[in-house]
Amino acid sequence: MNKLYLGGIIFTALMLILTYLSVGGSKGGLNDDIVNMLAITGAVALVIITVLVVIKYVRQMQVDSATGELADENWDGIGEYKNSVPTGWAVMFMLLIVWGMWYFTIGYPVNAYSQIGEYNEDVAVHNTKFEAQYKEITGDRLVEMGESVFLAECKVCHGINADGIDGKAANLNKRIDAASVKHVLEKGSNNKLMGMEMPMPDRNGLFNSATGALITDAEIDTVSKFVANGMSGEGADIFAGACSMCHGADGKGMEFVAPNIASFTPALVGTVLTHGKKGVIGVMPKFEKLNDKQKEAVGAYITNISK
């Protein structure tokens, strides 16, 4: 037998034995774990294909001579033949495409185990138990829970005292500041503060019914300070003419129309935690890892400290 073929057989056998010992000896073995089965199948295919290809081309270099039609291009006198795609290569290419389609549709990982999937399932089970256990918590106990969640998840940006750390995040000790109100009046808002798509128009859609004209820069500055000052001071007439029709005369909003801009509510805070928010400071991310009871608790805590 040709030494090349004999060496290929010995090498293939050795590699297959080592692969089996490596994968087959792992926890779960081959029979209980589809990942191990796929791994050893792929390893066997790679070893056999690699050895066959190497043997073929080494043998071809030993006995074959170059023939065929040269391409027109050459590099320093070195030409290239117009060779057709090798049949074996084309067959293996098509087989790998078919195998890849199977792998991603019927085989692994679709409908198979994954750590992310297991984590999500465990989180869902935990949240169900958590909400059932703490379902009846209200009042001071709910505020205490909210404080714990706030200190774990929110203080990084808003500060341990919820004061916004010198403007890096919103100061939650008050409902809103003048800069934030002005930003919304000028640019509009679509932060889903009603829990749904209910955008507020920008300044080109805000009319002051008292003057019958679009709201002016001076009116924006005045009403922004009025809202930020707890719905008091100069600007009540502008608010009544341009804002109260949606936000109500007291600024506490109307269901399905506009949010409460006079004070925080647990529902409002929960909506921000669910959808995130974009404002004059920047973008606040949504907190998907918090369950509904935790969001309600944070809302209760924020509402409590902002009184």
Query: Domain coordinates of the chain in residue numbers?
Result: 3-115, 134-305
238 contacts: CB under 8 Å, gap ≥ 6: 208, 210, 215, 219, 222, 223, 226
pLDDT tens digits in sequence order for the chain, 307 residues long: 578 778 888 888 888 888 777 765 555 555 556 667 777 788 888 888 888 888 888 888 888 776 778 888 888 888 888 878 888 889 989 999 998 888 888 776 666 677 888 888 898 899 889 988 998 999 999 999 999 999 999 999 999 999 999 889 999 999 999 999 999 999 999 888 988 888 899 999 999 998 899 999 999 999 999 999 999 999 999 999 999 999 999 999 998 899 999 999 999 999 999 999 999 999 999 998 899 999 999 999 999 998 6
**For residue 185, which of 134, 133, 223 has the smallest C-alpha distance?**
223
71 contacts: CB under 8 Å, gap ≥ 6: 79, 80, 81, 82
Tokens of 88: 């074996």
HEC-encoded secondary structure of 251-304: CCCECCCECCCCCCCHHHHHHHHHHCEECCCCEECCCCCCCHHHHHHHHHHHHH
Give pLDDT, residue 81.
82
282 contacts: CB under 8 Å, gap ≥ 6: none
70, 80 contact by CB (below 8 A): yes
Give pLDDT, residue 43.
81
258, 198 contact by CB (below 8 A): yes
Residue 195 zone, left/alpha/beta (φ > 0; ψ -120 to 50; rest): left
Q: Report the SS3 class of residue 84.
A: coil
Phi and psi at residue 189, to the nearest 5° = -150, 140
Give pLDDT, residue 30.
53
